[in-house]
Amino acid sequence: MPHYFDAAHREEIETLRQRFTARTEWPTWLLFIGVYVGWFSIVLGSDRLGLWWSTLLLIPLLVLWLSVQHELLHGHPTRWQTLNKVLGYAPFAVWYPYTLYRDSHLLHHRDEDLTVPGRDPESRYLSAEQWQRSSLFEQGLHWLNKTVLGRFVLGAPLALLALAGEELQRLKAGERQAWLMWLTHGALTLLMLTFIARYSALPVGHYLLLISVPALSIAMIRSYYEHRPHVQPEQRTVINEAAWPWRWLFLNLNFHLVHHDLPGLPWYDLPRVYRARREQWLARSGGFVVQGYAQLMRQHGVRAIDSPRHPFH
């Protein structure tokens, strides 16, 4: 537990960890089972639901699945990494193998490197050198990606293009781990798409382009302004006091500073820990607080929230 927590705060968190809920992790198990049951029910029932109702139900379900995968890689609902990997490897959201997401995201949790290009794998900023090498068109895309609308439309395609470039380099270099990961993920994805083609009314192309990509685009809204450059690492991570639909889809990751300080804390305890010490968390964030995703949409729907060039890297 971080050293800056006082004794009373430590005791509060330790009490949470001793509860039946935390010991059994039943909310996460229930959520995990619910996503699986929901996915198969919608896919198998798509002929009765119809194409577009199935689409509208599957998109938020895939966003929720991405959030469940995030819980799995942080040690929930079990403490066994291998078991969590097996539980989370279903390629419902298609594009990111679980192990790639897990390894990259755990590197992102080195708070001293947050937002730093080349060191934080989830940084949305460019170094001065990267910025100078970019064409005017590329710079324009990066500026657009700093608006909420641009992030929703361009965030997923840009992320997938970057992913393809990075992973093709690894495959060309003959990295054994990369080959095993992509062959496994590819085989499971092919099996899933074959199942969809055979047992549902959903065309495979429709699932890929109009379900999985929009789900990734919605997930991009969560990470739109989770971090900012700041000299103090603890003031680089946001507290977003979002409304319940977003909190549910993102499993309370809007309380992002709480998650970074206590990455082992399960999703259902993040609001409780935040509200118990709200003023302390606000002070620790340096006032880096957003009043919900609606505020971001109103203020930065078409206006960049900051520069894509890292200010002091």
> Is residue 209 over pLDDT 90?
yes
Residue with the bigger pLDDT between 178 and 4: it is 178
Compute the average pLDDT of residues 269-298: 95
Instruction: Work out the number of other CB atoms within 10 angstroms of the CB of residue 209.
Output: 11
Report the distance separating Cα 42 and Cα 200, nearest Å: 9
Instruction: Calculate the average pLDDT of the chain.
Output: 94
Please report the pLDDT score of residue 2 as a whole number.
62
pLDDT digits (tens, 9 = 90+) for 150-171: 999 999 999 999 999 999 999 9
Residue 247 has pLDDT above 90, yes or no: yes
Q: How many residues does the chain have?
A: 313
Q: Which helix (H) or strand (E) holds 290?
A: strand 289-290
pLDDT surpasses 70 at 184: yes
In the predicted model, is pLDDT for residue 17 greater than 70? yes
In this structure, the number of other CB atoms found within 10 A of the CB of residue 7 comes to 7
Give the pair of three-digit tokens for residue 237. Answer: 């991570």
Work out the pLDDT band at 191, boundaries 50, 70, 90. very high
Please state, for a pLDDT cut of 90, what percent of the chain lies above it: 92
CA-nearest of 237, 241, 218 to 228 is 237
290: closest CA among 226, 236, 223? 226
* Whole-number pLDDT of residue 229: 95
Over residues 180-198, mean pLDDT: 97
| pLDDT at residue number 211 | 98
The alpha-helical segments, DSSP class H, found in the chain are: 7-18, 20-24, 26-44, 46-49, 51-73, 81-88, 98-108, 128-133, 136-144, 148-172, 176-199, 204-207, 213-222, 244-249, 256-261, 270-276, 278-284, 293-300
Q: Sorting pLDDT into bands at 50, 70 and 90, what band is 4?
A: low
